[in-house]
Chains A and B, each alone.
With several copies, the nearest count.
Chain A
Amino acid sequence: MIDKRVSGPTEALRDLGDGASILLGGFGLCGIPENCIDALVQKGVKNLTCISNNAGVDGFGIGKLLATRQVKKMISSYVGENEEFERQLLSGELEVELIPQGTLAFRCLAAGYGMPALYTAAGVGTEVAIGKETRNFDGRDYLLERAFDADYAIVKAWKGDHDGNLIFRRTSRNFNPLMAMAGKITIAEVEELVAPGMLDPDHIHTPGIFVHRIFQGKGYEKRIEKKTTRKR
């Protein structure tokens, strides 16, 4: 089989330079590649295009890359939890493209499956449709959306093996398996890295063929955005 292991985030990101486009897994702060985000900050690469459902919060997640002004453009579906983001957006420092959440998912899927484009009903008749082809099938309108063409995908999984096979846990799966399929180079950080044969083939969410570099991350904070509980 094929060993995809690298020593850590620095080696994983070795060839990622200024101006790169990056798909970043996660929904809110759930399932985000914490180690790689820290390494991107340390590396100091600039003018990044980040494609991620959200933009983190002030001081955590993609918010860290915004604080250091490393992001030129964000492509997201929802960006509401970040004051620095808002400041940069209103001052014109940051470019933002907002797209429907399902469209974000499907454009990753299309890239991963070698489909150049897809049709979705989301956004028909709205400003999202401006400049896009609208086409009617069987009496309903759909927008033609193009597959993503991003340089890197950086994802976070629960478990992985040397071959790059990935397993996600609960709702931390979200966009991670889709982005893993869509990157030209896909980097996976995992909480637990195991030897080939330790994962049941039927339990694997992302086959290793989609993953180019894998390492076991350290010190996950897994910050909770909105802690909601019942009292005993």
Chain B
Amino acid sequence: MLDKEGIAKRIAREVSDNSYVNLGIGIPTLVANYIPPDHHVVFQTENGLLGTGPFPWEGEEDPDLINAGKQTITFLPGASSFDSAMSFGMIHSGKVHMTILGAMEVSEHGDLANWKIPGKMVKGMGGAMDLVAASNKTLVAMQHVNKSGESKLLPECTLPITGRRCVQKIFTELAVLEIAPEGGFILLERAPSVSVDQIKNATKGRLIIKGEIPEMIF
């Protein structure tokens, strides 16, 4: 079973060389730490910067320079700043190749729910509905089950959705899964020392198992 760092590390392998990527809050943010040093990957933050760098040195925080999670950041040589329309423009036109974000639920058709729980305080969708609607690749990083032990991989989302048929792949503490074109979660990889049965038990939506399922490689 993977911890958050492990999930991030596995997702990092999905990030192509020479690509532009938007990372959501939580596990996705950690992905940046695991990009191979010889890979050229530029991170976009949707509040208006391409080329985000590491956190600033203590005492060097700039209040005019934050990421979409409102954290103080730095920028790398070759960075560019822009307004929110251009930022979401490059997202919607698919120039941002990949978005990695968290989820409350994913359906076997690739529907995503991650912004609203009826009856609870709603914080808002922020940029998530834009990011998943764009014609780029959407990867989800999340726990396989919720705090009550219920599967988050479902036949249909029960929560209000963020986007329809937008998720390509899901990365959890147990497995890597891909959405099948005809619906269903294709099991691609098991986390180290996790059995197929464990994954079956934690997956409520249709799980598609073809042949031997390899263990993840990092």
Contacts and interface: CB of A to CB of B under 8 A. Distances in A.
**Do any beta carbons of A and B sit within 8 angstroms of each other in the complex?**
yes
Interface of B is mostly: loop
Interface in A63-86: 76-81, 86
A79 B124 contact: yes
A9 interface: no
A122 B133 contact: yes
Interface in A97-143: 98, 100-106, 108-109, 111-115, 120-128, 140
A176 to B, nearest CB: 7
Contacts of B202: none
A33 interface: no
A226 B69 contact: yes
B76 interface: yes
Interface string A198-232: 00011011011110000000000011111111111
A114 B93 contact: yes
A14 interface: no
B93 A27 contact: no
Interface stretch (B159-167, B180-188, B190-198): B159-167
Contact of A207 (B60, B69, B77, B80): B80
Contacts of A230: 54-58
Given A30-B66, A80-B123, A123 B133 contact: yes
Contact of B126 (A31, A77, A140, A232): A77
A27 B77 contact: no
A228 B61 CA distance: 8
Given A100-B129, A201-B75, A226-B69, A171 B123 contact: no
B75 A101 contact: no
Contacts of B70: 27-30, 81, 225-226
A209 B46 contact: no
Interface in B34-83: 40, 42, 44-51, 54-73, 75-83
B157 to A, nearest CB: 11
A127 to B, nearest CB: 5
Contacts of B1: none
B92 A121 contact: yes
Interface in A154-200: 158, 161-163, 165, 168-178, 181, 195-197
Given A171-B47, A173-B48, A230-B54, A27 B66 contact: yes
Contact of A103 (B82, B87, B123, B130): B130
The 5 lowest CB-CB distance pairs between A and B, nearest first, are: A114-B92, A197-B77, A102-B88, A196-B78, A113-B89
12 contacts: A1-B77, A103-B129, A115-B92, A165-B78, A170-B62, A170-B75, A201-B51, A209-B20, A209-B42, A228-B71, A229-B56, A231-B58
Interface of A: 1-3, 27-31, 53, 76-81, 86, 89-90, 98, 100-106, 108-109, 111-115, 120-128, 140, 158, 161-163, 165, 168-178, 181, 195-197, 201-202, 204-205, 207-210, 222-232
Interface of B: 18, 20, 40, 42, 44-51, 54-73, 75-96, 121-130, 133-135, 160-164
Given A123-B133, A176-B83, A228-B56, 8 more contacts: A1-B78, A27-B70, A101-B84, A101-B88, A103-B129, A170-B62, A209-B20, A223-B63
